[in-house]
Amino acid sequence: MSEELQVSIESEAKTHTELDVSVRGHRLKVDEPEDFGGHDRAPNPLEYMFTGLAGCLNVAIHKVAGERDVGVESVEIDVEGDIDLEGFEDPESEKRSGFQDISIYVEMDTEADEETEEEILEEAEGRCPVNDNLKHGTDIQVGMR
């Protein structure tokens, strides 16, 4: 059985750093910190990417645990990475504009033993669509309307 879910957003730039976003009736804002020329009115795109990754892993962990009849009391997910901005700032740079690596730290409180928790996390990591898109080269087309 194959199920497909189409995901889409609509957005409009309000300034050179601020973006208003609409998704399924929810309103979001994207901005940059003042150090990067923004007004710090909202998370920046990289922070939203990490937020999406943590949110997706949370759903996947709970799904896998539920399939194994493992009760979950709590899940804490921290995501971090360092980015070299040279690839973004300098069009002549050979460096990538993205993260070289991303670290995810998960703490679970479940009724399972540590080995089972590690198995749940490993399966959830493989089933999380955001993690999959970040780990594997997803074809992205950018064009004008």
| pLDDT tens digits in sequence order for the chain, 145 residues long | 578 989 999 999 999 999 999 999 999 999 999 999 999 999 999 999 999 999 999 999 999 999 999 999 999 999 999 988 888 888 898 888 889 899 999 999 999 999 999 999 999 999 999 999 999 988 888 999 8
Phi, psi of 105 (to 5 degrees): -120, 120
Domains in the chain (CATH in brackets) are: 9-42 (no CATH), 44-135 (3.30.300.20)
Closest CA to 10 of 20, 130, 73: 20
Q: What is the pLDDT of residue 87?
A: 86
Say what the pTM is. Answer: 0.89
Buried/exposed 26-50: b ≥16 CB within 10 Å, e otherwise: eeeebbbeeeeebeeebbeeeeebb
